[in-house]
């Protein structure tokens, strides 16, 4: 039952926001009593924390599985992006804006874990890309991995990228192209342009 509640809560939080969704909403959606939810989660804060942990673990495992497929570095980033958009239901910035505003401690903890995971992934991705001649050998790997994280989280800022003007899926696509064009070699550029056409 705990997993069922978490799955439904995640789905609703991503669709409507962490603040907007109430315990009553989740109970109604699942056809259970609110008391049943409280048997597994002490309060909404507890549920939001468990929900974000669950989402992070699901996404992390998925990313690790993709990295084990031994794709080239550029293709790997494209596959990871598609997987993440699928997991987050092409979410707009709104749910995470609500998380940051109303559950700042949870948001801060999640962001730290996201950074650690993404930074490790990007450092490995760049090392592999340099080795295979797809990324320029002179790039500063540590700087680029941090810029990637900053950019990817920055495009979620709805003050800068209002949701009525920018589609979340297209934003991540444009950011990925922008990022990769800065670091690819001519050989990498051919792969990138091929992926852009089919994406």
Q: What is the pLDDT of residue 93?
A: 53
Among the ranges given (81-85, 94-98, 160-164), the one the predictor scored with the smallest mean pLDDT:
94-98
pLDDT at 92: 53
pLDDT (0 to 100) of residue 23: 97
Answer whether residue 157 shows pLDDT above 90: no
Residue 124 pLDDT > 60, yes or no? yes
- At residue 13, does pLDDT exceed 80? yes
The whole-number pLDDT of residue 90 equals: 59
CA nearest 192: which of 74, 69, 67?
74
Confidence of residue 96 (pLDDT cuts 50, 70, 90): confident
Residues belonging to the chain:
199
The alpha carbon dihedral of 60, 62, 65, 70 has a sign of negative
- What pTM did the predictor assign? 0.87
Rounded CA gap, 67 and 71, in Å?
Answer: 7
Interval 145-151 mean pLDDT: 96
What element of type H or E holds 87?
helix 73-87
Of 18-22, 52-56, 92-96, least confident by mean pLDDT is: 92-96
Using a pLDDT cut of 70, give the percent of the chain over it.
97
Give residue 87's pLDDT.
83
């Amino acid at each position: 039952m705990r997993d069922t509640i978490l799955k439904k809560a995640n789905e609703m939080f991503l669709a409507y926001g962490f603040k907007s969704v109430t315990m009553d909403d989740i109970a109604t959606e699942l056809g259970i009593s609110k008391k049943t939810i409280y048997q597994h989660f002490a309060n909404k804060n507890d549920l939001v924390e468990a929900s974000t942990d669950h989402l992070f673990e699901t996404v992390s495992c998925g990313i690790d599985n993709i990295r084990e497929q031994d794709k080239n570095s550029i293709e790997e980033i494209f596959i990871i992006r598609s997987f993440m958009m699928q997991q987050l239901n092409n979410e707009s910035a709104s749910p995470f804006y609500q998380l940051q505003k109303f559950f700042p401690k949870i948001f801060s903890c999640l962001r730290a874990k996201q950074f650690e995971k993404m930074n490790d992934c990007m450092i490995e991705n760049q090392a592999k890309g340099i080795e295979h001649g797809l990324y320029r050998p002179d790039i500063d790997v540590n700087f680029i991995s941090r810029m990637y994280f900053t950019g990817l989280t920055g495009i979620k800022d709805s003050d800068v990228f209002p949701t009525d003007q920018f589609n979340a899926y297209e934003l991540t696509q444009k950011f990925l192209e922008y990022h990769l064009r800065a670091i690819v070699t001519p050989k990498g550029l051919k792969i990138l342009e091929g992926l852009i056409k089919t994406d």
